[in-house]
Chain A
Amino acid sequence: MAITRGFTGRRARDPRLPPGQYDARDEWPVLHIESTPSLDTARWTFGIEGLVERPVSWSWDEIHALPRSRYAGDIHCVTTWSKFGMTFDGVSVDTLLDAAGPLPAATHAEILTHSGYTTNLPLADLTGGKAWVVWDADGKPLTREHGGPARLLVPHLYFWKSAKWVSGLRLLDHDEPGFWERNGYHDRGDPWSEQRYQGD
């Protein structure tokens, strides 16, 4: 670690802030790289494919008919902002995976989106109440720049894993780096250990 001459760091550290993060307070920065797609909920789908007993696909109405699940807590973006005390409503990924029946060989998931962006996750980071497909943020429908109509939410990891405009999961028996991971970002992205880039 190289100390930077003259830098003391001005932000008082809040224990909820992982290292290197700042509190974005009322801002919710938008930092995705694609153009913002406009998706019609009438044609929106979410599917699970790959190493599953039954590939499943839900329409907008069908996914809303599943048991609801809420996340209330903090989110952290690799571009260094964090937001405290958000609430997101949607459905738990556990509920979705139960319907598809992951095969024992499945260890990882490739996250697919309607925009072509992809990201990868170990299955263990998507199960056990750690991940959601959400459509409301703080009680209001997700706006399209925040991934509306629905995005993945994996709040214990950096937010690039919480793919906007999510369209499905493909279960794999190996890790398959997604868009940012092929471009130097970390495969897992734990904010508390600052896993920002490959090699962290």
Chain B
Amino acid sequence: MSAPTHRKTLRWQIARVLSVRDETPSARTFRLALPDPRPHLAGQHYVVRLTAPDGYTASRAYSIASAPSGDPEIELTVERLPDGEVSEFLHDVVEIGDELEVRGPIGGGFFAWPGDTPALLVGGGSGVVPLMAMLRHARSIGRPDLVRLVVSARTEADLYYAAELPGPETTVVLTRSGRGRLTAADLAPLVRGGEDVFVCGSPAFCDTVTDLLAAVGVPVASIRTERFGPSA
């Protein structure tokens, strides 16, 4: 039997930057107005494409930080990478009122949480962005009990969404100023059995967390990982 065939054609559209705010000293959230809004699932991403006058382009993927809401607006949170072509431009040049070419939402099914099943979310660095969309979605539909979010950050100052994050659903592990790296003991009490597990961060973070989860008995088939950036 063949799989159902449905193809989505996504067009580029020109989004307007509505606001820019600092999340941490190295991460900034951009609120964009979309002329052609499309419903998204928590966990999906957009591609941002920059075009130079000579036609040179650079495009990068950025997860949607905001919950699916039906708004014609989305938020993206971008970490500024030293010498990063697109992230430095977004941080150093883009301001309110600018136009950015975007395409999305991309990444159906696999790394997206539909909002009706128990989920354990584990994120490091900017990997928390798609997971925050999932937490926001769970809270906005009145089902925060469905999700458990573990965030690993270097210090308090590096924590994304610091004001909004705290809650009975969330656990923060600070690796530099706190008591060290994420361990199996941090994860074991959060595993309920039967949940989908979403892991997002650098390739090294994803592999470490996958191994920890496997060690506490989480079936590897229930773990979905999304890896950002160059391999460590």
**A contacts, CB < 8 Å to B:** 1-11, 13, 19-20, 22, 24, 27-37, 79-81, 145, 176-177, 179, 181-184, 196-199
Contact = CB atoms under 8 A, between A and B. Distances in A.
A29 B229 contact: yes
A5 B92 CA distance: 12
Given A7-B52, A9-B50, 18 more contacts: A2-B99, A4-B50, A5-B93, A7-B50, A9-B57, A11-B58, A19-B57, A22-B85, A24-B230, A27-B230, A32-B227, A33-B226, A79-B60, A177-B7, A183-B8, A183-B110, A184-B108, A198-B9
B146 interface: no
B36 interface: no
Given A4-B100, A176-B3, A184-B10, A9 B54 contact: yes
Interface residues of B, number: 52
A13 B8 CA distance: 32
A29 B50 CA distance: 22
A182 B49 CA distance: 22
A35 B56 contact: no
Interface in B71-115: 85, 89, 93-94, 98-101, 103, 106-111
Contacts of B230: 24, 27, 29, 81
Contacts of A9: 50, 52, 54, 56-58, 85
A29 B53 contact: no
Interface of B: 2-3, 5-12, 14, 47, 49-61, 85, 89, 93-94, 98-101, 103, 106-111, 203, 207, 210, 220, 223-227, 229-231
Contacts of B53: 3, 8
Contacts of A27: 230-231
Contact of A145 (B60, B203, B223): B203
A164 to B, nearest CB: 13
Contacts of B231: 27-30, 145
Contacts of A29: 203, 229-231
Q: Is the interface of B mostly helix, strand, loop or mixed?
A: mixed
B51 A182 contact: no
A7 B54 CA distance: 10
19 contacts: A3-B53, A4-B99, A7-B93, A8-B53, A9-B57, A13-B56, A19-B56, A20-B57, A20-B58, A22-B85, A28-B231, A29-B230, A31-B203, A34-B224, A35-B210, A145-B207, A183-B107, A184-B106, A197-B106
A48 B59 CA distance: 36
